[in-house]
C-alpha cells in the first residue's frame, strides 16, 4: 500500500494538512470534548473522541457517494440539517449552563470524576455534534472536490477517510488525556461549575450563529 500511495504523496500531504487545521481549530467538537473530559472524566472524553471520529467516517462516506454535493446544492436539505445541528448544540449548551457548584471540600478530593451519564451517551454526543455540523459537510465537499482529484483511485480516497477518522480520534483523545491529569482535575473541581457554564455559553453561541446563518 505504501508504494501505491507514494504517487499520491503531494495530495495526501494536502489532505493531512487541511484536516489538521480543521480539527485543531476550536469549534463544537473541541468544546464538547473539553466539557466532557473535565466534568465527566477521561473515559467520557475518549468516548466523545470516538464519536467525533465516527462522524468523520460518515462525512467521508457520503462525500464519496456524492451525497455531500446534493446536500450542499439543496437549500432546503442543507437548512434542515443546519437547524437540527444548531438546536442540538443549543440543547447541550443549555444543559451545561445548569451546572451546579460542587459540594464543599470536593475541590480537594483526589478521587476520579464519576459521571452519572452513560458512556455511550458521551460517544453519541460526539457523533451528533460532528455529524450535524453543516460546516463539516462543506469542508468534506471541498476536500473531495477541490483537493482530492477525481482521478484518485477509490482505495486511496478510502485511505484518506480512514486516516482522517483515526487522526481525529487520536487528537481529541490526546486533548482528553491532557485535561484529565490529576493536577488539572484538582483545579477543575475548584471552579468546575464556572468552566461548565462557560463551555455551555460557547456552545449556545455557536448554535445561535449556525441557526442565524442563512444559505441562499
pLDDT tens for each residue of 27-45: 899 999 999 999 899 999 9
Residue 9 lies in a domain: no
Residue 198 lies in a domain: yes
Q: DSSP characters for the chain?
A: -HHHHHTTHHHHHHHHHHHHHHHHS-SHHHHHHHHHHHHH-HHHHHHHHHHHHHHHHHHHHHHHTTHHHHHHH-HHHHHHHHHHHHHHHHHHHHHHHT--PPPTTGGG--SPP--SS-HHHHHHHHHHHHHT-HHHHHHHHHIIIIIS-TTS-HHHHHHHHHHHHHHHHHHHHHHHHHHTSHHHHHHHHHHHHHHHHHHHHHHHHHHHHHHH----
Residue 42 lies in a domain: yes
pLDDT tens for each residue of 165-213: 999 999 999 999 999 998 887 777 777 778 788 888 888 988 888 888 7
pLDDT of residue 112: 52
Whether 95 has a pLDDT exceeding 70, the answer reads: yes
Q: Answer with the residue of higher pLDDT: 167 or 135.
A: 167
Count of structural domains within the chain: 1
Residue 142 lies in a domain: yes
Q: How many CB atoms lie within 10 A of CB 34?
A: 22
Per-residue cell: 167 = 487522526
Q: What is the mean pLDDT of residues 50-68?
A: 93
Range of the domain at 190: 28-212
Residue 124 lies in a domain: yes
pLDDT > 90 fraction of the chain, expressed in percent and rounded: 37
Residue 7 lies in a domain: no
Position 104 confidence tier, pLDDT thresholds 50, 70, 90: very low
Residue 61 lies in a domain: yes
Residue 6 lies in a domain: no
Q: Answer with the residue of higher pLDDT: 80 or 110.
A: 80
Amino acid at each position: 500500500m505504501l508504494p501505491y500511495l507514494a504517487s499520491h504523496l503531494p495530495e495526501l500531504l494536502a489532505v493531512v494538512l487541511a484536516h489538521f487545521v480543521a480539527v485543531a481549530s476550536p469549534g463544537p467538537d473541541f468544546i464538547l470534548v473539553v466539557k466532557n473530559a473535565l466534568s465527566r472524566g477521561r473515559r467520557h472524553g475518549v468516548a466523545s473522541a470516538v464519536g467525533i471520529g465516527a462522524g468523520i467516517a460518515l462525512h467521508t462516506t457520503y462525500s464519496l457517494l456524492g451525497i455531500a454535493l446534493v446536500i450542499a446544492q439543496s437549500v432546503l436539505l442543507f437548512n434542515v440539517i443546519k437547524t437540527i445541528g444548531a438546536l442540538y448544540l443549543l440543547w447541550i449548551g443549555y444543559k451545561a449552563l445548569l451546572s451546579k457548584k460542587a459540594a464543599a471540600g470536593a475541590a480537594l478530593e483526589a478521587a476520579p470524576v464519576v459521571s452519572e451519564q452513560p458512556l455511550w451517551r458521551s460517544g453519541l454526543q460526539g457523533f451528533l455534534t460532528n455529524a450535524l455540523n453543516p460546516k463539516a459537510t462543506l469542508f468534506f465537499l471541498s476536500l473531495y472536490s477541490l483537493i482530492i482529484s477525481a482521478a484518485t483511485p477509490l482505495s486511496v480516497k478510502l485511505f484518506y477517510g480512514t486516516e482522517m477518522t483515526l487522526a481525529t480520534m487520536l487528537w481529541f483523545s490526546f486533548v482528553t488525556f491532557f485535561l484529565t491529569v490529576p493536577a488539572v482535575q484538582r483545579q477543575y473541581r475548584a471552579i468546575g461549575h464556572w468552566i461548565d457554564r462557560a463551555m455551555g455559553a460557547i456552545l449556545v453561541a455557536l448554535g445561535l450563529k449556525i441557526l442565524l446563518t442563512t444559505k441562499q
